[in-house]
Structure 1
């Protein structure tokens, strides 16, 4: 567990999380627990592979061969019980980039695209920047547990929706969708001829007792109507290396998507991303299992401390991801006041819930993928701020 205990200094490494503190929070004293990358080093096997590749010293154009594809196929089969074919794979620098290209390839300006709010903030720009319309299916909240409003879901599809961007596991609320939920959403999309764009970047990060099920794995009909977006970037903290893949079973759909990728110049991975992806999926499983134990401990610690030592913070217990969705409504502040409280009083840099949709106005999102020392300091700051408000 030493990898996950060590505090690594990320300042002056061009880290978005640490070196943009002043730009984001107007202070360098804020403890950053926001953007979804981890303060842990990647698996040693990944670092060794990158170092060995760098020794070669030549970084020309790089192919994606079976040595990269086979570990992906094996990983998805072993970790997610889904058998995919090599031909189904396409590649891009990241899931968000892939979503942008899918929206351009399969929808038209003015089309409606469904999302389930509150939801990962780039989904909005993925839709709106291409002159498509966001249609919301707000998730229902009851006692800090979120569920799908299927009546509203179907009603929105009836009104005309071209595509549905599914977040699975869901960011920011941490739901790992059950098979029955996935099947019902998929069947409705089939009924109303809606393409499913499934962002499954957090697929590997689920807690004990939970199982991530790729929605496309449910049946051949659903597979054909789904484009699945995955990456080792969240799992192994590789986001800066920009390597992701897309799984599309339907040949015509895949050809259309690949044409769009080529049009945008995204038909290969960078050399180091290619190397890291292969090493992570070949040798990173033990590291990941240790990480999940650490995240489970961290999650339980934060929830216990905030519930026992404050009366203003209530945490949605996540089933997946390393993100906590914290209800701050009892502070009786609006979204602007809540940001000020976190930045200036607590001095903890969190993601503002309002950025995930109006439903998140009185929430904050907290990243717990950090050493225990950092986590405890962040929790202490929140508790002290709650007492001194």
Structure 2
């Protein structure tokens, strides 16, 4: 096992620009020639060998209609999800509450569509990942963002401000709470006492809770993810937990996500609308995610070790004047460039002068002005080149 893990880590480290530039996914294909992309949340690492074998086996066996259309007992991933949650996080999930969707955004949309009404506000923490704001706006569920702010060397959750927002501040009270934990883009991992207070607020105001926990397996040493639904039976009964292999195993293109729907009325409504209305996940996506959760830990351990090193390298290699609080989870660095005088969108400067493509901070809302998000899930050599370009682009 140690030899296998070492070989996998060497493979992850060996990525070079010539190889990466041949990729045709969104991350690399959208970057102009000569530009290093570090924006969208895809890792550059090769797929886990376990997942590769599972996909080949599926192709060689049967790509016809799957036999698991009935998900009333958890479908093909219920047991795998429950075992994963118990083993990694101590959460006793009910396999029969699991339903499958193409990605976490679809799962969020359907939970809101079936669990709330048009005009119902939704509380969430800001900065907000752009697809979530867009989803809420299109569904007619007004977003009520509550800032996560830097304080005492870390990111601070203002629970009093959140409570005020949930109550409506003289307007319409919120009907749902959308959690992103670990948080994207700050990388903040919510503490148990914070989750307990959020559970109390949810019970007091009878909120539907949708908890996006897609970065849960990427918490760094000293930090532990706690599923919101694990706080209490009451919390679990009002929570839709959504996750996938898109971050920890880089499976965004596999189009398979899991929703653990603790809310009975939403679970029954989902089952009543199944079939072509919501679409269906692919057999390849199911097998990829099942392989990741049941046999991908050695690969994930190697990835986590490399990400921890890259996280430190970012702290050591950023240009002087860039504010950076190392994330407690994720492979995303939320960079405060306000002191550099680069305006609301510093990513534009680094794209033009450094040939480095970062995610635009303002796309995350007003709290993102002066910020940019950097994805450090790449080889150390590529990351070093990226940081060098950023440093040399700034006047000395």
Task: Give the TM-score, by structure 1 length.
Answer: 0.93
Kindly indicate whether residue 63 of structure 2 is the aligned counterpart of residue 58 of structure 1.
yes
Shift of 1:102: 1.2
SS of equivalent to 1:247: strand
Q: Is the 8 A contact 2:48 2:296 kept in 1?
A: yes
Q: In the alignment, what sits opposite 2:197?
A: 184
Q: 1:369 aligns with which of 377, 382, 388?
A: 377
Kindly indicate whether residue 305 of structure 2 is the aligned counterpart of residue 300 of structure 1.
no
Q: 1:36 aligns with which of 41, 50, 61?
A: 41
Q: In the alignment, what sits opposite 1:220?
A: 233
Q: In the alignment, what sits opposite 1:24?
A: none
SS of equivalent to 1:137: strand
Q: In the alignment, what sits opposite 1:339?
A: 347
Q: CA RMSD in A?
A: 1.7
Counterpart CA distance in 1 for 2:309 and 2:274 is 40
The 3 A distance-change label for structure 1 pair 165 and 317 is: same
Q: Is the 8 A contact 1:62 1:270 kept in 2?
A: no
Q: In the alignment, what sits opposite 1:201?
A: 214
Kindly indicate whether residue 30 of structure 2 is the aligned counterpart of residue 17 of structure 1.
no
Kindly indicate whether residue 138 of structure 2 is the aligned counterpart of residue 132 of structure 1.
no
Task: Give the TM-score, by structure 2 length.
Answer: 0.91
Q: 2:292 aligns with which of 280, 284, 287?
A: 280
Counterpart CA distance in 2 for 1:88 and 1:269 is 17
Counterpart CA distance in 1 for 2:76 and 2:112 is 30
Counterpart CA distance in 1 for 2:176 and 2:96 is 23
CA deviation string 1:168-209 (max 9, x = no partner): 000000001110011111111110111111000101110001
CA deviation string 1:81-133 (max 9, x = no partner): 11112111000010011111111111211111111100211110110001221
Counterpart CA distance in 1 for 2:261 and 2:113 is 16
Q: In the alignment, what sits opposite 1:326?
A: 335
Q: In the alignment, what sits opposite 1:142?
A: 151
Q: Is the 8 A contact 1:348 1:378 kept in 2?
A: yes
Kindly indicate whether residue 278 of structure 2 is the aligned counterpart of residue 265 of structure 1.
yes
Q: Is the 8 A contact 1:227 1:246 kept in 2?
A: yes
Counterpart CA distance in 2 for 1:152 and 1:340 is 33
Q: Is the 8 A contact 1:312 1:386 kept in 2?
A: no
Q: Which runs of 5+ in 2 are unaligned?
A: 1-8
The 3 A distance-change label for structure 1 pair 345 and 210 is: same
Counterpart CA distance in 1 for 2:91 and 2:189 is 17
Counterpart CA distance in 2 for 1:330 and 1:128 is 32
Shift of 1:346: 1.4
Q: Number of residues paired by the alignment?
A: 378
Q: 2:267 aligns with which of 246, 251, 254?
A: 254
The 3 A distance-change label for structure 1 pair 67 and 150 is: closer
CA deviation string 1:152-172 (max 9, x = no partner): 111111110011110000000
Shift of 1:71: 2.1
Q: Is the 8 A contact 2:358 2:372 kept in 1?
A: yes
Counterpart CA distance in 1 for 2:367 and 2:59 is 46
Counterpart CA distance in 1 for 2:274 and 2:190 is 29
Shift of 1:380: 0.6
Q: Is the 8 A contact 2:76 2:286 kept in 1?
A: no
